[in-house]
Amino acid sequence: MTKSSCVWIIDDDRSIRWVLEKALLREDIPCMTFSSASDALRELERSQPSVVLSDIRMPGVSGLELLQALKEQLPKVPVIIMTAYSDLDSAVAAFQGGAFEYLPKPFDVDQALELVRRAQAESASRDTPAPSESPMTEML
């Protein structure tokens, strides 16, 4: 599995995938889209996202189940959970599952882009070793 700077968009709603894909590409942010969580999980065998945007309610594997699988396999990858059904229980479940952020639909595209940028910055900082983890050369 190879790490990439690619943002994964997972939603059964084609229009949401299209809008997010166009917005990300306009900002020169590479992305891949998936119509189901199962498709995204299969892709994990080949590549690794830098950030994931996923709907919470989808046929088959739900967004929360996907979140759980991602956190087990890729605990450092930020996951933004989207939903048209913004209820407190869903938000709490998403955050308890390790979601980076919760994005209610309909959303402002600029707000979604800002969340992706924040998540990318978080992902990059998690990949950078802390000073104590870096090999240090003593100067005498």
Express each pLDDT in 56-92 by its tens digit: 999 999 999 999 999 999 999 999 999 887 677 777 8
Q: What is the band of 2 on the pLDDT scale with cuts at 50, 70, 90?
A: low
Q: Is 132 inside a domain boundary? A: no
CATH code, domain with 14: 3.40.50.2300
In DSSP terms, 54 is beta-bridged to: 10, 81
What CA–CA distances, in Å, run from 92 to 59, 86, 101?
21, 11, 11
Tell whether 115 is covered by a domain: yes
- Report which of residues 138 and 128 the model is more confident about: 128
Q: Please give the tally of structural domains in the chain.
A: 1
The answer, yes or no, to whether residue 134 has pLDDT greater than 50, is no
Q: Is residue 35 a part of any domain in this protein? A: yes
pLDDT at res. 129:
54
**pTM of the predicted model as reported, rounded to 2 decimal places:** 0.85
Strand locations in 56-123 (E): 79-83, 101-104
Is 136 contained in some domain?
no
Domain holding 69, by residue range, is 2-124
**Residue 97 in tokens:** 């599952």
Instruction: Dump pLDDT digits (tens) for 96-121.
Output: 888 999 999 999 999 999 999 999 99
Q: For the chain, where are the E strands, in sequence order?
A: 2-3, 7-10, 31-34, 47-48, 51-55, 79-83, 101-104
| Angle between helix 14-26 and helix 109-127 axes, rounded to 10 deg | 70
